[in-house]
Amino acid sequence: MNYWLTQLFNGFSYGALIFLLAMGLSLIFGVMQVINVTHGTYFLVGTYIGLSILTWTGNFYLAILGGGLVIALVGIFIERFFLRRLRGNDLGQVLITFGFVLLLQDAILLIWGPDPKLMGEPKSISFTAHIGSFTFPSYRLFVIVVAAAVAAGLWLFENKTKFGSAVRAAVDDVEMASGMGVNVPLVFTVVFGLGSFLAGLGGVLSGPWLGLQYGLDLEILPYAFVVVIVGGMGSLKGAILASLLVGLVDNFGKGFFPDLAYFTLFLPMAVILAVRPQGLFGRTL
Amino acid sequence: MKRALVGLTVLATALVLGLVLAPRGDAAEKGPIRIGLLTSKTGVLAIHGTHQMAAVEAFKDKYGTTVAGRKVEFYPEDDQSKVPLGVTKVRKLITGDKVHIVMGGLFASTGYAIAPLGDQYQTPIFVWSCPDDLSQRKRYKFVVKYFSCSQPQHAMAHWLRKNKPQVKKVIIFGPDYAFGYESSGGFQKVFEDMGGQVVQKIYAPINTVDYGPYIGQFRKDAEGMFVTLAGPQALRFPKQYQQAGLRDKYVLVGNGTNTDEFALAAQGEDVLGWITAHIYGGAAYPSQDNQEFVRNFKKHLGNKDPGYYAEGYYGALVLIYKAIEAIKGDVENKAKFMEALGRTKVTEGMPGGPKVSDGYGNLNTNVYIRDVRKEASGKLYHHVLHVYENVSQFWSYRPEEFLKQAVYDKDFPPCKFCK
Amino acid sequence: MIFELLRGRGRVAVAVAALVFFAVYPWFASRFMITVLVQCLIMAILAMSLDLMVGYTGMASLGHAAYFGSGAYAAAIVSVTYKASFPEALAVGLIVAVAVTAVFALVALRATGVYFLMITFALAMLIWGLAYRWNSMTGGENGIAGVQRPSFIAGTTTFYYFVLAIAAAVFVFFGVLVRSSFGRTLVGIRESESRMRTLGYNVWLHKYIVFLISGLFSGLAGVLWVFYDSLVAPPLVDLSTSFDALLMVSVGGGGTLVGAVLGAVIVKMLENLVNLVTDRWLTVVALVYITVVLLAPQGIIGLLRDLMARREMNRAALEVAGRANASAGKEGSK
């Protein structure tokens, strides 16, 4: 019984972390039709920046916020001066985002070096918790709480604010939205900034849990892609559901079929692609 | 603007052509002795690469760049922690830079992949990583190596049975490739031959980010764990293990890479008390040779401590120099060079203790059992509990008997006591 | 003057000159550079097969590592584990690559544009996941080492000529293909799918077939690579291989075939030679990506063609102006 609870909890918490990474990617793809390959690297660079902020100020929460903000700025810069020039050139956008992956990777090497690093979380959220006979690390619970808060915030944003409805309109149909007076370039920049912010924030959160390792960006990116594909591009509901699914499938897959660990993750994705390419909640292609 | 681009294009094409035509000369010249070094300066194993390059500098400090009357040049190459690139780089070192010997390779798999190149190009390859079979069942004429993955872990099992006999049932956990299988296999063989039982074997990919699914599977009825952590695993696993509340549940022993100096500072209290076995005693080991090595090393890497990655690289270079001296610098005679490499023996100057060729392309070496302690200043270090001397890759088994069994692999030795 | 060369019969002359250059190359190059050029030629085959889809049909795929890798792994597995001969390994590699393409194409062709990119990428990840984790079959992280070439191509130079011959044959075959009516249909599809459909063409079938051809030749490149390197491992099947192939097509110029070859040579040369000069090869390659995408989206060949067209226009304009001046002059001097 305990085993199942533990794995369930692990899957949920990992899914929560993936949600933060994937939601940004999903938004960017849903609104701007851009496959932002740099997203994983935003996540990783965010972690490094968070570490630096933590080292300078000693404040973990400041690091989380700061990491998110700096990455948001980086993302906005790249969107405004590079991606915008390639509107309509799908392939070009993908290639250039990959170019930035390499650039940012080299930046990590130059600024922080190739050594793996560890990040410490505040003692207040770093203990082994017990509920009855069930034990779990409290930090993972913290991640779940943050992710839930972000999801709630996003829901409010999308459904209760004017700008949010502009975003939803853009996801549905960009040309129509433009025709109806939505400032599409502004929406794009804000969405890209928001997506990057989420990636950076998720990155800092992952620091104490996954460690800082050069190369993590491209390892974790496939998970985000699976979520976006399975959940549907641009859909908040889809991203939440798919992230949890991915977390659980990954956990149990690794437990029961270690040989086929990645395959158990990508196969459902391939099935969805074959049967329902727009994902669970995406708009019809 | 367009004109500039055309100009650039023409220039680029000219450059390409120039580079295409540039490196010439298949004629071998006598001149300096060229030693090719394969390491990982970027990618998941980049940290080891930095340590190894610093070790090379420390080596040059003590032994200089002249041997047997000839100058020595080093050619470091980066395999970006990718096995296929390792092969490409070795090929480039041999055919392009015309090195007389290649040393290096971090992944055990890289070792297996570059070994055939030695025979193909008739150039000695000193494989630094520890693939067991290269000195057992898959021997190549032009390959020697530094040690076998299973070599220290035979000793680990022996020590565990002798010093903590209450630990009868052990769970094995390691990275899902040759290094993991061979280290664990070595432990399992001796452990079970001495009456212990391995009740579970779990392997996780080296890149695993979340160890939750694996930790959740650990059997509750075991008393101990034998853990091997490679590369980034050393930084992720201990923390997640500790967070799951398991530190006090099992007696944990394992591979020296778990707490190697490269990670020790970052790992912190999570690894306090972890017991590991390796061919190096640690930066704190008080032998004179070791302390001299540590001093020289620190000069080149901002006061960081060397671990076995550095010591091994350093030691390999000492052995290479020894071999070159033995043949009076005649490295162009590849066969003679290779033969000397297969016979080397160094008893002083080695931070990791004496190394003696065993006639099978491997080295007999010391194995140090150490645990992690904390100084008054809070710094973590290795304290050596016991030294096994002159340990061979075959442990106490007769080589002919040992070679009859299969190489340690994912399914060998078989898990007789598993669920 | 260069431009005259690139037109009409000049083109054939340039092609022959290039072939001659490649043919005599081993006489004056070092062994190392020969191996680099082998890499370029094998990748040229991959780039050309990708160009067929991307440049000619307008189907940008982010997952060609899947077909390249399927061919490579299949050939390696039967060659090492089952001790197959070279022709057998080649055949198996090609068959597996086509089979994988046949299945993947069915899934991927349900989408277009950006979604197609996404899906092809996801499918390539599937193959990568298999390569990485199916230890018993693919060797997992270690990959499969020890692939042997048959003695007639065991040498560096002999293998070079072997690959050169195949690459040249592929180039000619594709050249004929794109000039055939099938090839022209592909271009039509690139320009406007809906128009082609109204004209009665079975667009889906054309796309499926070109996908298969592309997959087949990508698989061929994979098999050749395995026999060049004697090793296959997961990094060969990951994201960067798919991107590299796209970069080659983009740098050289999509839709020109020769651009794919040029791109392959340039990118592979860069990769092999940049880190002789600097440790910052990541940044150098990144800058190449970014510069090419921003400033030369049609690639080098595209750039040259642009300039040719411009000169044509200028010359034609000058002629017209000259005639106008002459007649005006005649009138004016009355």
Assigned token pair, C313 = 């226009």
Closest CA to C262 of C7, C34, C12, C43: C43
Question: In terms of residue numbers, what domain contains C26?
Answer: 3-280
The torsion angles phi and psi of C176, rounded to 5 degrees, stand at -65, -45
Contact A89 C246 (CB under 8 A): no
* Interface mutation vs chain B, best among C1, C25, C32, most B CBs within 10 Å: C32
Taking each helix axis as running N to C, give the angle between helix C31-51 and helix B83-95, from 0 to 180 degrees, rounded to the nearest 10. 140
3-state secondary structure of B417: coil
Helix (H) or strand (E) holding B224: strand B224-227
B206 at interface of C, judged by CB pairs closer than 8 A: yes
Does C21 reside within a domain? yes
Does B24 reside within a domain? no
Q: Where residue C262 sits, what CATH number does that domain have? A: 1.10.3470
Contact A115 B176 (CB under 8 A): no
Q: Are B136 and B232 contained in the same domain?
A: no
Does B18 reside within a domain? no
Strands A128-131 and A134-137 come out as antiparallel
Q: What's the number of domains chain B is made of?
A: 2
Q: How far apart, in whole angstroms, are the C-alpha atoms of residue B235 and residue B225? A: 18
Neighbours of chain B (3+ CB pairs under 8 A): A, C
Which pLDDT value is given to residue B16? 57
- The residues with which B74 forms a beta bridge, in sequence order, are B35
Residue type (1 letter), A33? Q
Q: Are B388 and B270 contained in the same domain?
A: yes
Give yes or no for a cis peptide into B413 (omega within 30° of 0). Answer: yes
Q: What's the number of domains chain C is made of?
A: 1
Contact C111 A29 (CB under 8 A): no
Give, for all 419 residues of chain B, the pLDDT tens digit.
454 455 455 555 655 565 555 544 444 446 899 999 999 887 778 788 889 999 999 999 999 999 888 999 999 998 888 888 888 889 889 988 889 999 998 888 888 889 888 888 889 999 988 888 888 888 888 999 899 999 999 999 999 999 999 999 999 999 988 889 999 999 999 999 999 999 999 998 887 877 888 888 899 899 999 999 987 788 889 988 988 888 888 999 999 999 998 888 878 888 999 999 999 998 899 999 999 999 999 988 888 899 998 999 999 999 999 999 999 988 888 889 999 998 888 988 899 889 999 888 899 999 999 999 998 888 999 999 999 999 999 998 888 888 888 888 888 899 988 86
Does B82 reside within a domain? yes
Does B419 reside within a domain? no
Neighbours of chain A (3+ CB pairs under 8 A): B, C
For residue C289, give how far its alpha carbon lies from the nearest alpha carbon of chain A (Å).
5
Question: In terms of residue numbers, what domain contains B125?
Answer: 30-149+287-365
Other C-beta atoms within 10 Å of C332: how many? 8
How many residues are listed for chain C in this entry? 334
Q: Please, are residues B353 and B365 in contact by the beta-carbon 8 Å criterion?
A: yes
DSSP state of B123: -
The stretch C29-54 carries a mean pLDDT of 91
Give the distance from CA B37 to its chain's centroid: 14
Q: Are B267 and B378 contained in the same domain?
A: yes
A274 at interface of C, judged by CB pairs closer than 8 A: yes
Which pLDDT value is given to residue C331? 58
Closest CA to A115 of B53, C62, B241, B228: B53
Which pLDDT value is given to residue B13? 61
Residue B220 exposed, middle or buried by CB count within 10 Å (0-12, 13-18, 19+): exposed
Q: Are B164 and B140 contained in the same domain?
A: no
Q: Are B70 and B131 contained in the same domain?
A: yes
* Interface mutation vs chain C, best among A35, A103, A273, A276, most C CBs within 10 Å: A273
Q: Are B129 and B167 contained in the same domain?
A: no
Q: What is the C-alpha radius of gyration for chain A, rounded to an integer number of angstroms?
A: 19
Give the distance from CA B329 to its chain's centroid: 27
Of B217, B235, B236, the CB nearest to A255: B217
Domain end point (choices B320, B343, B365): B365
Q: Where residue B231 sits, what CATH number does that domain have? A: 3.40.50.2300
Other C-beta atoms within 10 Å of A5: how many? 16
Does B142 reside within a domain? yes
A135 at interface of B, judged by CB pairs closer than 8 A: yes
Question: What confidence tens digit (pLDDT) does each residue in C89-115 have?
Answer: 999 999 999 999 999 999 889 888 888
Does C329 reside within a domain? no
C264: number of CA atoms within 13 Å, CB side? 26
Other C-beta atoms within 10 Å of B219: how many? 13
Q: Are B337 and B226 contained in the same domain?
A: no
Q: Are B127 and B160 contained in the same domain?
A: no
Give the distance from CA B309 to its chain's centroid: 6
Cα dist from C156 to B282, C35, C152, whole Å? 45, 7, 11
Helix (H) or strand (E) holding B35: strand B33-39
Q: How far apart, in whole angstroms, are the C-alpha atoms of residue C319 and residue A200? A: 60
Does B122 reside within a domain? yes
Which pLDDT value is given to residue B9? 56
Q: How far apart, in whole angstroms, are the C-alpha atoms of residue B139 and residue B116? A: 10
Cα dist from C135 to A19, C10, C129, whole Å? 30, 53, 11
